[in-house]
Amino acid sequence: MAEFEFKKNNRRLIVGIGSALVDILVHEDDKFIEKTGAAKGGMTLVDNTWIERILANNSGAPAVVAGGSACNTVVGVGRLGGNARFVGKCGVDQWGRQYENDLVQQNVDPALLRSESPTGRVLSIITPDAQRTMFTYLGASAETRPEDISAASFADAAVVHVEGYLLFNPDLIETALAAAKKAGALISLDLASFTVVEQSLEVLERLVADYVDILLANEDEARAFTGQSDETLALRTLAQKADIAVLKVGPRGSHIAHDGQTIHIQALGDGSAVDTTGAGDLWSAGFLFGLVSGYPLDKCGQLGSACGYEVCQVIGASIPEEGWTRIRKLL
């Protein structure tokens, strides 16, 4: 397979920009999801009182961890020993302080913006098949403004990784993409959720064409974006839109397309999962870390697969130290 030649003046920094959110994780069955009226596996924006109301009807105690898609990715990069930074807005409350401390402890530079509003939260309902359905209260994270972002936010970045959830704020995401390009970085975009793609299709098409170098999607997101239900055709269409296209297919692994060629990456293990929260985010962490480290694309994919596998063996998006020890053996 043709290799991707990384030309970024020896830069290694990966900057993530997205929503600074605290993850609240609960376990329920499909009937519980049906009562919410939401599409299973999707993401729905809600207010803070909605989350409190759902939690009041939850049958078990929730787990609470720091999260947010792009943040999960750069935390993974930091845990791999990479150079990582996160740009996002959180509150000046207890959760905001904890969020910053967590980033520092995970080897991530916290380029955080502050607000008097509460730090945002995501309620993830995990069903027995390990699928997660998300309900997001953006809180302070929704107050990030285009004027908060400049090329300085991405100084020295090799790659700027953007979460698709920012598509709900078109002016902000375009400002961020333009600033990243001005800073000389490659742009990686994770499509985030099929519901996000469906609601933002027109602006997404334009932004990908104008800015994106690395495009990452799972099966549902790729189908919503390309209109193709066939995997091969979906990947081919994605590859026409970006220099590197990645199609993640869960327990069947992933596909990477570049320069007219494709490679399949096997998934690790037997496909079992305790929780798929953060699986795509951590796959991106391993892949992007490999990319800026100059690894061949197949090894980048294998590293992504290892990170995705390990996070699926625990609740939430935080891989324990023994998991990172196994992953580092690939390096």
Q: What is the pLDDT of residues 268-326, one digit of tens each?
A: 888 788 888 889 999 999 999 999 999 999 999 999 999 999 999 988 788 999 999 99
In whole angstroms, give the CA distance from residue 38 to residue 36: 5
- Answer for the pair 172, 146: CB distance below 8 angstroms, yes or no: yes
Would you kindly state where each structural domain of the chain is located, as residue ranges?
13-20+68-115+145-328
Which tokens sit at 226?
Answer: 């390309």
Tokens of 52: 């409190």
Burial 147-172 (b: 16+ CB within 10 A, else e): eebeeebbeebbbbbbbbbbbbbbeb
Counting residues of the chain whose pLDDT is more than 70, the rounded percentage is: 97
Mean pLDDT of the region 154-169: 95
For residue 254, give every residue at least 6 positions away whose Cβ sits within 8 Å of its Cβ, in sequence order, or none: 246, 247, 248, 264, 265, 267, 283, 301, 304, 305
**CATH classification code of 13-20+68-115+145-328:** 3.40.1190.20
What mean pLDDT value characterizes the chain? 91
Strands (E), 219-310: 244-248, 254-258, 261-265
In this structure, the strands spanning 254-258 and 244-248 are antiparallel
Of residues 27, 101, 24, the one with CA closest to residue 67: 24
Amino acid making up residue 68: G
Q: Is the pLDDT of residue 166 over 70?
A: yes
The b-or-e profile of 120-143 (16+ CB within 10 A means b, else e) is: bbbbbbbbeebbbbbbbbbbbbbb
Q: For residue 187, what pLDDT is reported? A: 97
Tens digits of per-residue pLDDT, 200-230? Answer: 999 999 999 999 999 999 999 999 999 999 9
Q: Which residue has the higher pLDDT, 119 or 4?
A: 119
For 68-120, the pLDDT digits (tens) are 899 999 999 999 999 999 999 999 998 889 889 889 999 999 999 999 999 99
**In this model, does residue 33 exceed pLDDT 60?**
yes
Give residues with Cβ within 8 angstroms of 101, minimum separation 6: none
